[in-house]
Amino acid sequence: MLSKKTKYGLKALAYLATVGDKEPVQIAEIAKHENISQKFLESILLTLRRNGFLGSKKGKGGGYYLIKDPSEILMTSVMRVLEGPIAMVPCVSLNFYEKCDDCPDEGECSVHKLMLQVRDSALEVYRNNTLADLIS
Amino acid sequence: MLSKKTKYGLKALAYLATVGDKEPVQIAEIAKHENISQKFLESILLTLRRNGFLGSKKGKGGGYYLIKDPSEILMTSVMRVLEGPIAMVPCVSLNFYEKCDDCPDEGECSVHKLMLQVRDSALEVYRNNTLADLIS
DNA sequence: CTTTTATCCTATAGTTTTAGTAGATTAATT
DNA sequence: AATTAATCTACTAAAACTATAGGATAAAAG
């Protein structure tokens, strides 16, 4: 299941992309427009900022804004930051690889074989979608 | 993330498929061979039996066995029983559809648009893989 | 320089899901 | 009757998820 965090984060990014201008948008406005708990959204936007997707400005007239053009924001990177690994098991993860404790030989593992395909198909989707694609 | 339940269930099915004959295999043997907690595996095999994948026999010489040929066991059905919906959000689920509380219009939702593609790509993988494919 | 506005940041609490454990029961075989 | 192995219910510990609380910080307006 997609976490609420990721869902809300994506919606917030999409909202910022539709607003268009690089003018800061307040958390409260995003939260209200997308029906998200403001405090929860706050922490999500913070991680998006810390990971280079958003800029922010404090005080009156402040808020969050996209740093890059929506067409340059790939879903692979957004998903990795918000949701974590794209792979469903660590042993097929490109960026978060870990060996399974219980599995003596990955080459022989049926789960490995299946999840490799799932990872590749998901990757293809995320690589083919930028933020711009989602709002058009 | 793939749950341990699904992972172990898949491994157990794969093991039963490699053993081949329709002779019952004991939980203890599967658990040992696949490095799985026996009691946990017990409950997993039970749900696989209740959902028509396995047959069982009690007493000496008893155990679990595949009811169908591995080539007739689709990953779509296995995944739905063990892991639940294939879709990452209920609003794009074929078998477990639910409307989002917060989303006024699915057609306009960026998350919906993205997750539809992810679901379709995952479905294609699961539909193209039977248990037989995983052990070859 | 004070007030207001809005982000920043840490800690924590409540709920749900996951991953197992315990122990008694039932059915089949010897 | 004894043994073997699945069946079933209930329970628990740990982790993850979904927030919430409350103060600190920074920018702008007056």
**Distance separating alpha carbons of residues A92 and B135, to the nearest angstrom:** 17
Say what the pLDDT of residue B22 is. Answer: 79
| pLDDT mean over B73-83 | 98
Within an 8 Å CB–CB cutoff, is residue A88 touching chain B? yes
Closest residue on chain A to B9 (Cα): A111
Within an 8 Å CB–CB cutoff, is residue B11 touching chain A? yes
3-state secondary structure of B55: strand
What are the tokens at A80?
A: 């990795």
Say what the pLDDT of residue A24 is. Answer: 96
Say what the pLDDT of residue B21 is. Answer: 73
| pLDDT mean over B45-58 | 98
Say what the pLDDT of residue B34 is. Answer: 96
**With 0-12 CB in 10 A as exposed, 13-18 as middle and 19+ as buried, what is B134?**
buried
HSE-CB for B8 with a 13 A CA cutoff: 24
Q: Which amino acid is at A82?
A: L
* Cα–Cα nearest to B24, from B62, B59, B51, B58: B62
Within an 8 Å CB–CB cutoff, is residue B122 touching chain A? yes
Within an 8 Å CB–CB cutoff, is residue A11 touching chain B? yes
> Is the pLDDT at B54 greater than 80, yes or no?
yes
- Is residue A4 within 8 Å of residue B100, measured between CB atoms? no
Kindly list the distances between the CA atom of residue B103 and the CA atoms of A18, A29, A34, A55, B28, in Å, as whole numbers in the listed order: 16, 16, 8, 26, 48
pTM (predicted TM-score): 0.95
Residue B12 CB closer than 7 angstroms to strand D?
no
| pLDDT mean over B9-27 | 94
Taking the CA of residue A84 and the nearest CA in chain B, the distance in Å comes to: 9
> Is the pLDDT at B114 greater than 80, yes or no?
yes
| pLDDT mean over B41-53 | 98
Residue B57 CB closer than 7 angstroms to strand D?
yes
How long is the CA A25 to C1' D26 vector, in angstroms? Answer: 17
Tens-of-pLDDT digits for all 136 residues of chain A?
999 999 999 999 999 999 987 799 999 999 999 999 999 999 999 999 999 999 999 999 999 999 999 999 999 999 999 999 999 999 999 999 999 988 999 999 999 999 999 999 999 999 999 999 999 8
Res. B67 pLDDT band, cuts 50 70 90: very high
How long is the CA A40 to C1' D20 vector, in angstroms? Answer: 8
Say what the pLDDT of residue B112 is. Answer: 98
**Distance separating alpha carbons of residues A60 and B65, to the nearest angstrom:** 68
CB pairs under 8 A between A and B: 78
